[in-house]
Structure 1
Amino acid sequence: MIRGIFDFFESNGGGMVSAELTAFDAKARGNNVDVMWNTASETNSDHFDVERADVMAGSDAAFATVGTVASAGVSSTSRDYSFRDLG
């Protein structure tokens, strides 16, 4: 579980977007991975990009976006999110 406040920069305009992440988990399901997270609050969020690390032996990890999940935008209540990576 991860707790804390994470700030993200929007790719367009560089505005600050905040989401208070209260839980994060990922579970392997055969060849897939279920990713679940919870936010306690969000301010001006649009979406979450879900990324996967591609690690080759002896090299640094390169991350690629494998999906996008719409967010609440503005919320002061707990929100649950999930994504299934079919990779």
Structure 2
Amino acid sequence: MALIVTFLLGIGNFAWHRAVLESGHAMMRAVSPGAYRAARTVSLGLEFVLLCAAMLAIADGHLAGLWAYLLYSAINGGAAWLILSRRI
């Protein structure tokens, strides 16, 4: 069950990440197109590595991976909400 929850959190994290990247926020417009493409690739890759690491830890029996990824997801979701709602 913990693996399923982590996977679903990962889907949410990727959705928030993509929404922020495509939001047209001033932070995204301030980056040159070449740097934007590179940063997008690296940041989505890092997102994938974090999800894999959490899922591997959970599969190995370390439920702290779930709690750590849950905390990360809460922070990530809060930051995405702040950016998408133009509060920052």
TM-score by length of 2: 0.22
Higher relative contact order (CA 8 A, sep 6+): 2
Q: Which of the two has greater helix per residue? A: 2
TM-score by length of 1: 0.22
Q: Which of the two has greater strand per residue? A: 1
